Amino acid sequence: MRIFKTLSIIAFFVLFTMEGYSQEITKYNFLEIIVVQKANNRGKVKRIKVEEQTSLIGQNISIDEIEDIEETSTLLNYMNAHDWEFLDRQSVVSEDNDPVWMSYIFRKRK
């Protein structure tokens, strides 16, 4: 019985002196790009708008280069080439012939 108590006390101290490890949460930069395209025009972009965002600071992409892109597929390829991962797209359509406003969300690991 005495050995059991001694081992229990030692195990108790060893248990609480061990370091705990936790999984680190992956951090991302997020970037929103607004794409305006004509209705029923199969990916032809009318305009791309990128506002100044903190996630662009120190990155190897520029607002001017993004805003000069003329097709949705080119935008996706450009962002992929610069290690930005496509995350989500939301679109707003008001009338049949009105332009379609789309918000593209990209993320990049910090």
Please state the domain count of the chain.
Answer: 1
Query: Looking at the domain assignment, is residue 16 inside a domain?
Result: no
Residue 23 in domain: no
Residue 8 lies in a domain: no
What does the pLDDT read at residue 78?
96
Task: Report which of 54, 42, 50, 80 is spatially closest to residue 66, judged by C-alpha positions.
Answer: 50
Report the predicted TM-score, pTM, of the whole model to 2 decimal places.
0.71
In a domain, 41, yes or no: yes
Answer yes or no: is 9 within a domain.
no
User: What pLDDT, in 10s, does the model give residues 8-50?
Assistant: 888 777 767 766 666 788 899 999 999 998 776 666 788 999 9
Residue 1, domain member (yes or no): no
Whether 22 is in a domain gets the answer: no
In-domain check, residue 43: yes
Q: What are phi and psi of 14, to 5 degrees?
A: -65, -40
Across the chain, mean pLDDT equals: 86
